[in-house]
Structure 1
Amino acid sequence: MLRSADQYRYVLEQPVVAPGGQIWNYNSGGTLLIEAVIAKAAGGALDDVASEFLLKPLGISNFAWTKNPKSGIPEVGGLRLCSRDLAKIGQLVVDGGICNGRQIVSQEWVKESTAAHIGPADLTYFYGYQWWLGRSLVEGREVPWICAMGHGGQRIFAVPSLDLVAVFTAGLYADAINGRLPLVLFNRYVLGAVASRD
């Protein structure tokens, strides 16, 4: 997909493996099509739309979004942010779409996008609209969390019930552990520390 001159066409030309609603697997092609819909509806490229309506209102000005060299389309998974700015996105979720007293994203959309619509995927996580949802057991207490999972081990964990955000960045791109290690660290060191204070 990423090497295709027309990424949208590539995704849409893939064979259908099952009738709609029967089987679900995460794939970046679906995210790419969402990107196209947002860009078309907003009348601009996704990186410009995201900058104007999300990143700038959050006070995020230092970011990079890699683009496909053939198509010029912002790449799925190509947004680069520092940890502090990733945490601002997590805090926006925890605060119901509000940043500095201003409603950046509607509370209804935060609630809808972070609700379980699919799952549990792989018998582990549920899936909302681009958000993964799970629960951790910490000292006998179940703690629900919302997570943005990026390639290579990038994670934003948002825990509204604890008013907590945790961010992990990594470069585990070719390592199978990249999907598990951030959650292990989050459970053991972040939630473990919070639970020990209660």
Structure 2
Amino acid sequence: MIDYPFLQNRLKKEKINTFLINSHGKTIFRYYKNKKQQQKLHKINSCTKGILSILFGIAIDRKYLASVHIPVHSFFPELFERQDDKRKMDMTIYHLLTMTEGLDFPEFGEWNCFAPMVFHSDIVKFIINRPMVHPVGTHMNYNSGCSHILSAILQQVTSMKTKEFANRYLFQPLGIQEYQWYEDKKKISKGADGLLLKAEDMMKVGLLVLKKGVYNEKRIVSEDWINHSIKPNLMTYEKIGYYGMHWWVNKQNETKAFSEDNHYFFALGFGGQYIFIWPKEELVITITGDLYETSLLPLQLIKDHILR
């Protein structure tokens, strides 16, 4: 049982702007730091990645892409032709989605959660030019560059900007009317962290994923895609969990195997942005904040006060 008064008081002490809990399709708890937060478009940072994953599922469902196993070099042949390390030719869309592409990208290391690609005039080129440190498919390393390349691929195969594709096939069906999606200098929607949404609309995304691709009894993305997205792949960061296809996933009870009753998954954005789903209890939690020194604090609050 969640102690809501305690949770309310705990949230007031932190730089948390919104905290919503939906149980069995009904929002049962709402916390807003102030009145402005309810209608504000929040920069959800890397929660953008989870939404980009859904868009790729839709693109495959609608035959814009044949599968996730298409080589990345087929979309950027000139860039790959210049690469000395021919192991990069093995990289596929799947490797970008699971961040197992093998590139040197110390985003959670010396770059301290800030990839310098943002200053580059051609971000896709910057990423592909990074040296290889692991064979493709063998090691998961957090790499926001993967997400940006995915956005560039989506724009290429759909002949739409990622934000336009999202609006047509995801946002409108979910009833999301207000959003912003920042672009790079090449007019590519920033796949890693460019999206701004209201907290209530983040909840709609969470409910869609909880219901395996269905929202308001309408199929938006295939169940198979959602299942693959939240399938644990490799563990690199024990404090966070395993990585699926642009969604984090972990076990509630570490001593037991993954199962329908023993897992949760989430999108996580720098500064404490979350779309968190606990299938066992049909619970969705969305959070926005300014916790740029302690991005994992909300996850710990969920573990301590809700996952019990």
Query: TM range, normalised to the smaller chain?
Result: 0.7 to 0.9
Alpha-carbon displacement from aligned partner over 1:136-194 (angstroms, at most 9, x marks no partner): 349xxx74111011121101111122111001111223x1x21x2011111233334xx
Q: Name structure 1 gaps, 5 residues minimum.
A: 193-198
Match of 1:72 in 2: 187
Among residues 150, 156, 163, which one is paired with 2:282 in the alignment?
163
Larger Rg: 2
Instruction: Determine the C-alpha separation between the residues in 2 that align with 1:137 and 1:83.
Output: 29
| Moved >4 Å (runs of 4+) | none
Aligned to 1:145: 264
Bigger strand share: 1
Q: Could you tell me the TM-score, scaled by structure 1's length?
A: 0.87
**Counterpart amino acid of residue 43 in structure 1:** S
Q: Which has the higher contact order (CA 8 A, sep 6+)?
A: 2
Q: Equivalent residue of 1:24, what SS?
A: coil
| Residues 1:12 and 2:128 are matched in the alignment | yes
- 2 CA distance for matches of 1:79 and 1:111? 24
Q: Secondary structure at the match of 2:277?
A: strand
2:217 match: 101
Say which SS state the counterpart of residue 291 (structure 2) adopts.
coil
* CA distance in 2: counterparts of 1:188 and 1:110, whole angstroms: 27
Residue identity in the other structure for 2:279: P
The alignment status of 1:40 with 2:159, answered yes or no, reads no
| Counterpart residue number, 1:62 | 178
Deviation at 1:32, TM superposition (A): 0.9
- Contact 2:140–2:235, Cα closer than 8 Å, also in 1: no
Q: Matches of 2:203 and 2:171 in 1, distance apart?
A: 12
Q: Once structures 1 and 2 are overlaid, which stretch shifts more, 105-114 or 143-152?
A: 143-152
Distance of 2:228 and 2:188 partners within structure 1: 27
* Secondary structure, aligned partner of 1:155: strand
SS of structure 1 residue aligned to 2:173: coil
Cα distance in 2 between the residues matched to 1:81 and 1:189: 26
Code of the aligned partner of 1:101: E
Query: What is the RMSD computed on CA atoms of the aligned residues?
Result: 1.9
Kindly state the Cα deviation for residue 78 of structure 1 after the two structures are TM-superposed. Answer: 1.2
For 2:281 and 2:253, how far apart are their aligned partners in 1?
A: 14
Q: Choose which of 209, 221, 236 in structure 2 pairs with 1:121.
A: 236
Matched pairs, number: 185
CA-CA distance at 1:132 after TM superposition: 0.1
Identity of aligned residues (%): 32
Alpha carbons 1:166, 1:190 under 8 Å: kept = no
Pair 185,143 (structure 1): closer, same or farther in 2 beyond 3 Å: farther
Report deviation, 1:65.
1.1
Deviations 1:24-53 (A, max 9, x none): 201101111111222222221111111111
User: Equivalent of 1:31, from 147, 150, 160?
Assistant: 147
How high is the TM-score relative to the length of structure 2? 0.57
